[in-house]
Amino acid sequence: ISGWLAEIEQDPVHEVWGPLGNQTEDVRAKAAKFYGAQLDETVLIENTTTGMNMIAEGIAHSLKPGDEILTTNHEHPGGMICWEYLAKHRGVKIVQIPMPAPAKDKDQIVELVKKHLTKKTKVCSFSHVETITGIQMPLAEISKLTRPRNILLVCDGAQAPGMLKIDVKALGVDTYASSSHKWLMASKGSGLLYIRKEVQDRILPIALSTGYGSYTAGSGTRNVAQLLGHGVSMDIHNAIGREAIEKRCKALNAYLRKRFGEVDGLKPLTSNDPELTTGIASFGLKKGKMSEIYERLHKEHHIVVKAVPKAEYNAFRFSTHIYNTEQQIDTTAEVLAGILKG
């Protein structure tokens, strides 16, 4: 990226609107294929939050006070702020499904969704991989509930691309917003947005009013070097093999759940159902403060984990990507066991 940036800044008018800038459309085509979408359904964006905001803005005109947005209590904050904004300024009602932790199986989740659908439900907004326990939502099954009812199925894909092989058509979602700086390991400010062709006339954000291209009058000038780097990150994943990456992430996480399940003082929040598991698992503390142990892991042992963003769970979230190892998992389990033993 730094090399492209240097090249662009030596002659920005020529490069941004010429040879290098033109290559960003190749990146968009690559992204469409990466997600199993069509080119005219694919937008290069900055991150998941930007994409979710665009969707909410784009449907605001059709929502009335009292219309319901069905979601869960385990959502990524960046995927919720858009609905909270519409609740405040448009009078829509947010309905949150209380999610089990751990979930039993996908049928339990589908039944919970079905139970909370009403005649006022206009949007179902769910994470593909939810941020609290790391399970993947059964979106394909949920879409069989939403599409016949003409309910938009909006997906927050912040934690999935680069860990799971994504096929938006198989998932049955109407929209899919994601951040590529996470599991896809692209630079910060890289993301993708999918809007299914059949619902594009219902979703009308300002930024897409002049098209879905990498540069439009609605998008304004873009960071060309960053967009090109985004394309390289997809090349790397394709070269390794997305099926192989998903298999490795899941296998490492299965090993992590086994090892951490042997640690006294930890309680699992993540399902072991193979249809729900991913490369993320969360464990709560039976005693002690998560914040104190979090600091000890980082400062004393250089182990980086994520605090679950719900204080009532008093929990950590552990992610296993392809460059992690079983030895790192063993070390973390041993360190945690020692800390919790006191």
What confidence tens digit (pLDDT) does each residue in 189-211 have?
999 999 999 999 999 999 999 99
CATH code for the structural domain at 242-341:
3.90.1150.10
CB 124 within 8 A of CB 154: yes
CB 322 within 8 A of CB 332: no
> Tell me: the pLDDT tens digits for 232-241?
999 999 999 9
In the block, which residue shows the tokens 């600091």?
Answer: 295
Task: Give CA torsion, residues 60, 62, 67, 71, to 10 deg.
Answer: -50
The Cα-based distances of 231 to 29, 50, 161 in angstroms read 10, 19, 14
Name the pLDDT band for 17 (thresholds 50, 70, 90): confident
Position 96 scores a pLDDT of 98
CA–CA separation, 44 and 51 (whole Å): 9
The secondary element (H helix, E strand) that includes residue 15 is helix 12-16
> Tell me: the pLDDT tens digits for 36-76?
999 999 999 999 999 999 999 999 999 999 999 999 999 99
How many C-beta neighbours within 10 Å does residue 89 have?
9
In the block, which residue shows the tokens 């240097």?
Answer: 6
Secondary structure (DSSP) of 164-202: B---HHHHT-SEEEEETTSTT---TT-EEEEE-GGGGGG
CA–CA separation, 90 and 208 (whole Å): 21
Edge-to-edge strands, sheet with 315-319: 266-268, 280-285, 315-319, 306-307
SS3 state of residue 325: coil
Query: Domain ranges in the chain?
Result: 2-239, 242-341
- Residue 216 is classified by DSSP as -
> Tell me: the pLDDT tens digits for 138-197?
999 999 999 999 999 999 999 999 999 999 999 999 999 999 999 999 999 999 999 999
Among residues 82, 74, 92, 320, the alpha carbon closest in space to that of 193 is found at: 82
Name the pLDDT band for 21 (thresholds 50, 70, 90): confident
CATH code for the structural domain at 2-239:
3.40.640.10
Name the pLDDT band for 321 (thresholds 50, 70, 90): very high
Q: What are phi and psi of 150, to 5 degrees?
A: 60, 30
Position 100 scores a pLDDT of 97
- Residue 146 is classified by DSSP as H
Position 263 scores a pLDDT of 96
Position 16 scores a pLDDT of 78
The type of residue at 197 is: K
Among residues 309, 307, 298, the alpha carbon closest in space to that of 332 is found at: 298
CA–CA separation, 158 and 137 (whole Å): 13
Among residues 165, 146, 180, 155, the alpha carbon closest in space to that of 45 is found at: 180
CB 26 within 8 A of CB 224: no
